Amino acid sequence: MPVTIGFASLLAAALLASPASAVTAYSPTGHLNVRSGPGFQYQVVGQVQASVPAQITGCLSDYSWCAVALPGGVTGWASAPYLVTKATVPPKNLKVAGAQLGIPVIVPANTGAPVVATPPVGAMVAVPQTVVVQPIIPAPAAITYVTQQRVAPVIVNGEVMVGAVLPTAVPLYDVPTSRYDFAYVNGQRVLVEPTRRRIIYVVR
């Protein structure tokens, strides 16, 4: 009898875990940042490659951020609205489908220090999920200049991705060797089209 109970308990645990452990999601628009904690203020530790599935191991209670495991052992947090799963028909982002799929709610731990703790200055205009924007490859001199400048980072609501548009409150800085400006947003330096404020390159 003890063996039977033990087996039944294991089977029940496996059945409860299987929906969540089977859920994968991908970024349809491009490389999606994976951060050390559930927020745009945390450091980038990896990327979900475009259309490459990542394992989802849990989400915050409001399904705004989900914990992901990437190939190669990298783990972290990604913004749920940017993560699309094919576990639903039609595919939905995890902010919408997380509770429906029974993805477990987890509490973040060991997130590391935030990049900057100031409140967000606005929200980015995200790239539509049906659009994949190819980055422009800037001149090496422009990248070198951008990485050497000391400017204060700002936080915005929305992930840093090529094609996203920065809010007007984000300061832009001139790049003398380029027709693009740069900004330091959510812990990442980006090259931006000055008139449209559209991100054309993310310095990694």
Task: Say how many CA atoms lie within 13 Å of 62 toward its Cβ.
Answer: 5
Omega before 138 within 30 of 0, i.e. cis: no
Residue 157 lies in a domain: yes
pLDDT along the chain (204 residues), means of 10: 34 35 83 93 91 92 95 92 92 92 88 77 85 82 95 93 94 95 96 95 92
pLDDT at 162: 92
pLDDT at 25: 94
- In angstroms, the CA 46 to CA 75 distance is 8
pLDDT at 145: 96
pLDDT at 18: 41
pLDDT at 2: 41
Return the structure tokens found at 20: 């969540």
Q: What is the DSSP string of 119-187?
A: PP--B-BPPPTT--PPPP---HHHHHHHHH-----B--BS---TT-B--TTS--EE-TTSS-EEEEETT
- Nearest to 124, CA basis, from 47, 192, 38: 192
Residue 33 lies in a domain: yes
Cα 81 to chain centroid distance, Å, stands at 9
pLDDT at 17: 38
Residue 178 belongs to domain spanning: 140-202
pLDDT in tens, 108-142: 877 777 777 688 999 999 887 767 777 788 999 99
Same domain, 70 and 156: no
pLDDT at 14: 32
Residue 135 lies in a domain: no
Residue 126 lies in a domain: no
Residue 115 lies in a domain: no
Same domain, 16 and 97: yes
pLDDT at 109: 79
Residue 108 lies in a domain: no
For residue 13, the domain's CATH number is 2.30.30.40
Can you give the three-state secondary structure of 66-90, one letter per residue?
EEEECCCCCEEEEEHHHCEECCCCC
- Nearest to 76, CA basis, from 126, 21, 36, 43: 36
pLDDT at 7: 28
Same domain, 97 and 6: yes
Which among 101, 130, 161 is the end of a domain? Answer: 101
